[in-house]
């Protein structure tokens, strides 16, 4: 019998392991055949190697993830989690174009990039994530004063 709290916990662990820069721990949450799409609309990718590369890129960019409240489903197979992602703002970096901020100004000292997104995950019979979709668009990325965003995640450990 699937456990609704288990799938929610998997989604939260995703954020915490990203924050811990623990790629091996992150991959351990995912089925080797996982299909993921981040952001939705960019096209699905598959497997641990692709996910490792994707996560490594985010970690190298300095991402920190602050999860909100996860919700489940009646079949206890899926969960959705709102997340605020924070990235150091480095003017001119290629990442900005990917985030839809290629025209961002160069003099934004003390600012961070904020990406609001919702992660939807589906769990397989083995208790691992077999599908992950991350919903965010260009209107969900903004610059904000570092002092105005949360400093602590909900690590809970």
Give the residues lining the site for other proteins (CB under 8 A). Answer: 4-5, 8, 39-42, 68-69, 71-80, 82, 116-118, 120, 135-140
Cβ neighbours for 24, distance < 8 A, ≥ 6 positions apart: none
d(CA 30, CA 123): 9
CB-nearer residue toward other proteins: 75 or 145: 75
Quote helix, strand, coil % in the chain, to nearest 5. Answer: 30, 30, 40
Minimum CB distance to other proteins, residue 102 (Å): 15
CB-nearer residue toward other proteins: 92 or 137: 137
d(CA 95, CA 15): 20
CB-nearer residue toward other proteins: 68 or 88: 68
Minimum CB distance to other proteins, residue 92 (Å): 23
Angle at 137 between CA 15 and CA 153, to 5 degrees: 25
CB-nearer residue toward other proteins: 78 or 111: 78
Minimum CB distance to other proteins, residue 24 (Å): 29
Minimum CB distance to other proteins, residue 95 (Å): 16
Token code pair at residue 107: 């003099």
CB-nearer residue toward other proteins: 29 or 122: 122
Q: Which helix (H) or strand (E) element contains residue 141? A: strand 141-145
Minimum CB distance to other proteins, residue 137 (Å): 3
């Amino acid at each position: 019998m699937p456990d609704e709290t288990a799938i929610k916990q998997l989604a939260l662990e995703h954020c915490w392991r990203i924050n811990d820069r623990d790629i091996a721990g992150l991959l351990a949450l995912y089925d080797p055949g996982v299909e993921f799409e981040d952001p939705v609309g960019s096209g699905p990718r598959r497997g641990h190697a692709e996910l490792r590369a994707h996560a490594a890129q985010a970690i190298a960019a300095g991402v920190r993830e602050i999860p909100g409240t996860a919700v489940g489903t009646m079949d206890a197979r899926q969960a959705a989690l709102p997340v605020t992602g924070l990235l150091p703002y480095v003017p001119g970096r290629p990442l900005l174009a990917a985030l839809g901020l290629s025209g961002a100004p160069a003099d934004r000292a003390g600012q961070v990039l904020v990406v609001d997104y919702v992660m939807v995950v589906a769990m397989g019979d083995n208790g691992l994530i077999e599908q992950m979709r991350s919903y965010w668009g260009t209107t969900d990325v903004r610059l904000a004063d570092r002092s105005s965003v949360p400093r602590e995640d909900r690590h809970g450990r």
